[in-house]
Structure 1
Amino acid sequence: MKNPEISSVPVTTEHVTIRSAKPFEAVRAALEAAVPLIDNAYVQLLAAGKVDAARDLLWKQAPLSIFGTRNHGQLLQVAGLQRRAIQYDIGNPLTASEMTRHVLSSALYAPIRVLLSEDHDGRAVFEYDRPKTSFGQFGDKDVDAVAGELDGRLREALVAAST
């Protein structure tokens, strides 16, 4: 049996940090009020072959949605630490499909991971890798255009929640 072909390419990403003067819980509440949980009913529609209905449902959803969360602060309890830190998966299925139709590997970065944590002064901090640079590694003008739009929407939502 032949060995698999393995290749690797170094990638440069721009890491963004947004520090808020507001406390963690206030920023968390603002983000979750502005960016709703994704309505996953489109998944069942696609599974049933109802592509048009799924597309219609997706068009009616918010420009950005929360696909899921992980409470990393809670996880740190196993190391004896107390921190507030929530990782969000934020994106839009239509936006993802606009990129993956051109470069399937762009699915690696959709949805975008965003970390909301609390610094030592009690202030909220967002961190994420800028979509334009994450998706830029694929060198595709169509993916780059969509990533640029996503970049703006994500930054706008996070700044608004921080203000």
Structure 2
Amino acid sequence: MSKKIYEVKTIAVEHVTICSNNPFSMVRTKLEGLVSRIDDGIFTLLRYGETARALKELEALPALSIFGFRDHGALLGIAGPRRNSIQYDIGNPLTASKMTKHDISAGLYAPIRVLLREDLHGEVAFEYDRPISMFGQFESQEIDAVATQLDKDLRAVLEEAAA
């Protein structure tokens, strides 16, 4: 009996847009003030087996952190005019571990990718795919419970940054 080499699964994903009446730079500054960049020292601790110390530091973290970001608007300069568009990876390592311990494939969606963009008409908005809809494919009550809280935390911080 041979294993499947290639498998495709269709899932329904809910896409969210949170609009802002504020300028792009103000929304970006507000988001980055509300959600701090994660301290990479936590990953160093884990790499060296300091799990108890890393757990203590992870438990002290806020609900969400910025893992990284990319200036997608600068990339557009290759194809035309530069635009305001930043992709963020936002999440929490402890939250991710609470899901991936039930299904390692959930790691594909943690952290969550969030786009802050300004369209051609000057409208500023956040866009992201709802965590509960992405993680729902794993059909796990434990993962769904964590994803539901992540969904609430993410929406709250993005709405606050957009306000």
- TM range, smaller chain: over 0.9
Identity between Structure 1 and Structure 2 (%): 50
**Aligned-CA RMSD value:** 1.3
Q: 1:67 matched to which residue of 2?
A: 67
Is it true that 1:38 corresponds to 2:38 in the alignment? yes
Q: Note the alpha carbon deviations across 1:43-88, whole angstroms, 9 max, x for none.
A: 1111221110000111111110000001110000000222100000
- In 1, the alpha carbon distance for the partners of 2:81 and 2:136 equals 36
State the aligned residue count: 162
Partner amino acid, structure 2, of 1:141: Q
Q: Note the alpha carbon deviations across 1:14-54, whole angstroms, 9 max, x for none.
A: 00001101110010000000000001111111122111000
Q: 1:148 matched to which residue of 2?
A: 148
Q: Report the Cα offset of residue 124 of structure 1.
A: 1.7
TM-score by length of 1: 0.96
- In 1, the alpha carbon distance for the partners of 2:134 and 2:88 equals 17
- In 2, the alpha carbon distance for the partners of 1:136 and 1:113 equals 17
- In 2, the alpha carbon distance for the partners of 1:118 and 1:151 equals 23
Q: Which runs of 4+ in 1 moved over 3 A?
A: none
Partner amino acid, structure 2, of 1:105: S
Q: 2:102 matched to which residue of 1?
A: 102
Q: 1:116 matched to which residue of 2?
A: 116
Q: 2:132 matched to which residue of 1?
A: 132
5+ residue gaps, structure 2, are: none
Partner amino acid, structure 2, of 1:62: P
Q: 2:17 matched to which residue of 1?
A: 17
5+ residue gaps, structure 1, are: none
Q: 1:56 matched to which residue of 2?
A: 56
TM-score by length of 2: 0.96
1:137 is paired with a residue of what secondary structure? Answer: helix
